[in-house]
Amino acid sequence: MSSRKEQKEQARLEREAKQQELAAQAQRSRRMKVIGGVLGLAAVAVLVAVVISTSGGGGGTASGTEVDEVNSQLEGIPQNGITLGEENAPATMVEFADLKCPFCAEFATDGLPTIIEDYVRSGKVKIEFRNLTFLDQATEGTDDSTNAAKFAQATGLQNKLWNFVDLFYLQQEAENTVFATEDFLRNVGSQVPGLDVDKAWADRDDPKVQEELDLADEIFNREGLSGTPSFLVGPSDGTLEQVTINDLSDPTPLINAIEAAQE
């Protein structure tokens, strides 16, 4: 019987292969948009109807204790847009993630808290959250990942993105369902201390939101990354390098890179 670590590694490889194929499909899809025309729109409309009718949408739920733990973990740590931590931290870590990705949720729950408590809170590293929308391609014709990403990015305009992201992961539903509805997003947003949910909802259409999402895609592709979560780590005034972790509950490779970046 394979070990849990081997199972996680196999799952990670399968995830990356799937997301590479989805990215290729998305590129082919963009090339075919002009040709697809009316037939493409009709097909999308039918698929959306099928997906929505079979999805398990609805508001996410989390216990009060879980919500308190997430907010307590981040309390007192500076946030500035997509960045968590002191602006002058000597090391920078960039995380590329899709809010609907279950592996990203696993890292947020099992691996990230140690980094936040031991390295972000102490001012040794700052983390940037770069939001991707790979999984919209897994449920073609829907914009679930994009809707979630835009709302998350809008919460960043109030410097509340990291609370929202962690609370979203806590209440994440199956990746092949449509669940990031307005009710769901507002419900998660209502659990973030001090967040103006109505303003965040309106700010989804702020040009700054789309600019950040486009930049995340640009950096991800430029760095030759594949799959989520992916990470870059390095000195804040230097070059960031990709760091791979095989066990999402064990952030040791990231910690080693953070420590090396301060030498």
Domain count, the chain: 1
Q: Name the nearest CA neighbour of 58 among 181, 142, 191.
A: 181
Contacts of 97 (CB under 8 A, 6+ apart): 104, 107, 129, 130, 131, 132, 165, 228, 229
Contact by Cβ (8 Å): 197, 155: no
Beta strands in 91-171 (DSSP E): 91-97, 125-131
Q: What pLDDT score was predicted for residue 18?
A: 56
CATH classification of the domain holding 60: 3.40.30.10
Per-residue pLDDT tens digits of the chain, which is 263 residues long? 445 555 555 655 665 555 555 554 444 443 333 334 333 333 333 233 333 333 333 445 678 888 999 999 999 999 999 999 999 999 999 999 999 999 999 999 999 999 999 999 999 999 999 999 988 876 667 799 999 999 999 999 999 999 999 999 999 999 888 999 999 999 999 999 999 999 999 999 999 999 999 999 999 999 999 899 999 999 999 999 999 999 999 999 999 999 999 88
Range(s) of the domain holding residue 64: 4-260
pTM of the model: 0.79
